[in-house]
Amino acid sequence: MIVDPAALPGPEPVLRLEGIGKRYAGAECDALRDVSLELGTDELLAVVGQSGCGKTTLLRIVAGLEVPDAGSVRIGGRVVAGDEGWTPPERRGVGMVFQDFGLFPHLRVEQNVAYGLGRLPRAQRRPRVEELLELVDLAGLGRRYPHQLSGGQQQRVALARALAPEPRLLLLDEPFSNLDRPLKAALRESLVRVLRRTAVPTLLVVHDAEDVLVLADRVAVLQGGRIVREGTPGELCRNPGDAYVERFFQRLRLPDANRLPDELPSGSLPAGEEPLGPA
């Protein structure tokens, strides 16, 4: 869904995976085989699939925390993993929110958020931190320590921290799996809002169909280590083409089996708000 008609996707996708393969010695996980994906600017792509580690592995390969056995990863047009070269995670400009949030327990919230701002001149750090805390609705909680916050608040700090250095790309690993159900809906909403405002291209791993519908512009289904289906949530809902995909969206099936759930939550910005971050 395009927010600002002027910001058309550029010719080069922010992220391009080509033929990614990864094999595990332990074989508790499926290997990844020949996975190819593209993520455009201002797009949110959800990766779904059976539980196993394939999805997380894919994310970690993009992040640079794992090395693919085959294929290449390009970010912003440049090869970060492949025959032409390797860029370690700290130099990829990729933000990541981990499943367990990974907040630094010995640092305050504001210090956590400021952690990645080393490049920013000192004077600009504080304002940026405050800006982000406000964005995630945690203004005023900067002096607290992570263990003094609720689960939902911790997730938002993790998000703020990842967004602070203006990453080219954002990775979210099952952002809601550590939270209770009732919390999810509210957080989902707030997540959508934040992501739209910052307009940062996002790769998201989830296992809940509802999350997909609310958040994603496109979905990729990973099965047996391969991408078996790809498209917008609407397309996949209407036309699963695969037993797993069908089951996945089954929960959302409305009484009228053929009716397209075209009333997706809009997720668009409230009028008057400007997108933040790289456009």
Contact mark string toward another protein, 219..248, x via CB under 8 A: ------------------------------
Closest to another protein by CB, 83 or 262:
83
Is position 52 an interface residue for another protein (rule: CB under 8 A)? no
Nearer to another protein, 49 or 165 (CB): 165
Of the residues 95, 142, 201, 267, which one makes contact with another protein according to CB under 8 A: 95
Measure CA 220 to chain center: 13
The H-assigned helical ranges of the chain are: 54-63, 109-114, 122-135, 151-163, 181-198, 209-215, 233-238, 243-250
d(CA 167, CA 47): 20
Q: Contact with another protein (CB under 8 A): which of 28, 83, 180, 274?
A: 83
For residue 74, state whether it binds another protein (rule: CB under 8 A). Answer: no
Segment contacting another protein by CB under 8 A, of 4-12, 16-24, 129-137, 251-259: 16-24
143 binds another protein (CB under 8 A): no
Cα gap 274→196, rounded to integer Å: 10
Residue whose CB is less far from another protein, 145 or 244? 145
CA–CA distances in Å: residue 213 to residues 54, 141, 187: 21, 31, 14
Q: Which residues contact 112 (CB under 8 A, 6 or more apart)?
A: 103, 104, 146, 157, 161
One of 7, 29, 65, 276 touching another protein (CB under 8 A): 65
Judged by CB, which is closer to another protein: 15, or 214? 15
Establish if 85 lies at the interface with another protein (CB under 8 A): yes
Say whether residue 82 binds another protein (CB under 8 A): yes
Q: Is 278 in the site for another protein (CB under 8 A)?
A: no
Residues 6+ apart with CB under 8 A from 190: 136, 137, 156
Residues 6+ apart with CB under 8 A from 257: none
Residue 89 or 261: the one with the smaller Cβ distance to another protein is 89
Residue in 100, 127, 186, 259 binding another protein, rule: CB under 8 A: 100
Toward another protein, which CB reaches closer, 129 or 209?
129
Which three-class secondary structure state does DSSP give residue 208?
coil
3 part of the interface to another protein, by CB under 8 A? no
Pairing of strands 78-82, 44-49: unpaired
Of 166, 276, 228, 251, which Cα lies nearest the Cα of 35? 228
Gap between the Cα atoms of 80 and 63, Å rounded:
10
Interface residues with another protein (CB under 8 A)?
21-23, 31, 33-34, 63-65, 67-70, 81-83, 85-86, 88-91, 93-96, 98-100, 102-106, 115-116, 118-119, 147, 161-162, 165
